[in-house]
Amino acid sequence: MVSFFQVPDARRIRSFFTKLPLATRLLLLLFTAFWLAKAFRPELEQWGALIPQEINLGTRESCNGSQCMGAANSHPAQYTD
């Protein structure tokens, strides 16, 4: 009798993932890792939640110019008057 559900071949699955761009593979790995971590640490869901009542301009992370650059990357000529 013919089965309607066939087990996919591991070589075809591997081939599918190797053809994906690297960034896509990394994102899939990241999403899968967080999904699995959520099973062991349920508080991750609350930590990563975007709750509209708790989000405003004061809670955002800002990154402009010298704040993001380390002391080794700053050039003294930038700060002269």
Q: Which two tokens stand for residue 5?
A: 């559900």
d(Cα 2, Cα 5) in Å, to the nearest integer? 9
pLDDT value at residue 31: 93
CB within 8 Å of 45: residues ≥ 6 apart: 38
The number of CA neighbours under 13 Å toward the Cβ of 74 is: 12
Per-residue pLDDT of the chain (81 residues; tens, 9 = 90+): 566 778 888 898 899 889 999 999 999 999 999 999 988 988 888 888 888 887 777 766 656 655 555 544 555 555 554
The CB-based long-range contact list for 16-20 (8 Å cut-off, 24+ gap) reads none
